[in-house]
Structure 1
Amino acid sequence: MKVLIVEDEQEMKDSIYQYLEIEKYLVEYASDYELAYEKIHLYEYDCILIDITIPKGSGLDLIKEIKTTRPKTGIIIISAKNSIDDKVDGLNLGADDYLPKPFYLAELNARIKALIRRNNFEGTNSIKLNEIEIIPEERKVLVNGSVINLTTKEFDLLEYFIINKNRVIQKNALVEHLWGDNADQFDNFDFIYNHVKNLRKKLLDANCTDYLKSIYGIGYSFKTEI
């Protein structure tokens, strides 16, 4: 899952970043409004953490922009401002949750997980699709009730495919989801083929239906509908 931190306080940003990386999130950050604005127009995020008071703009304006351009993105306000008006304004603009500073990182993690479950998994702790079950918090995948061993990237790929089932997903979207800002370092995205091939083989070896389809010249689709 991909998270963007919009926070200008260096120590706070670093502590959140390091904690969420340990929890296996793909994490990026922006220290001001302009950089955050650029990122939300370039990339998709599962959850964005926003401080209301940020340089070069307002966190409230950023929430409004996110809900206009990326309406399905989850938003949690993290702010030292205790004004009830700020909280109400942020929630009215479309933020999903509000966590006042200071807070425990474990609580922030729990709020992120709950938000992602609501947005992507209909509030449940697992994703079930026919013979496939994914338990995100344990990073576990079962096919026909048996656990299959996936690498970190294979797990993230499968989760992304299932969330976006029956949609055509371009290679660049896959790379951006799995590598974030580092996607810009690659000259081409051909290497994604090997990750998809390995994931498909492991699913087929577990007697899973062959859902993964290559769309020539574009990318892939996880087809569950004929």
Structure 2
Amino acid sequence: MRWTDHRPFVRPAVLDRRRLRRAALRYAEHGWPVTPGARLTGHRFACGRPGCPIMACHPALDSWQETAGTEAARVRAWWRHEPYNVLLVTGRRFDALEVPAALGVRALGAVRLHRRPDAHGPVAVTAAGRWIFLVTPGRPLRSELDQRLDVVHHGLGSWVPAAPSRMLEGPVRWAVPPEQARWRLPDAEVVQARLADALGAVRAPQLTVPRQMSTARRGG
């Protein structure tokens, strides 16, 4: 028998599925409810449901609100065969504040500059330039933020994509990984105050709803 240091070939789709499953299990292990999201196929997202008309990112299960959770066996089963995206379900353990990049960069910079531990938490970034701040749940948007179409509050009945999910423009990544924030969630009111303070330096948005967002998901 000849020994070789060549590793066996593993199809990229299998590697993607394993990587997505590991991420989903890690989030679930820390109490973050997850649900499988439609996988990116070409220029649309496929969930496997016959006749599904949704082309944007969306949950792969009709019953995602009832079945989303943290049970490891269920998470493994969801990602056993398909490289589903990983969606974090909001409104339970945390809410999410989704903002444009210009606003997100300034708000995160202010948090770091003032060394506010109560405002330091996980922040995800999409390749389309959307920044997603995870915060404590239950706080509605301040009026200054609620007036902007480019600011989205994800509460009960909503979700956000998590790394390493793939969107049309590219993968989702963490600007502030959960490990760096020690899996702690900052106070929503404090983070909203930082975002509101940053509004003066950010130009008013065009009156369009961001890609991947729907009016049904806007608001909490």
- Where on the TM-score scale, by shorter chain, does this alignment land: which range? under 0.3
Larger helix proportion, structure 1 or 2?
A: 1
**Bigger relative contact order, structure 1 or 2 (CA pairs below 8 A, ≥6 apart):** 2
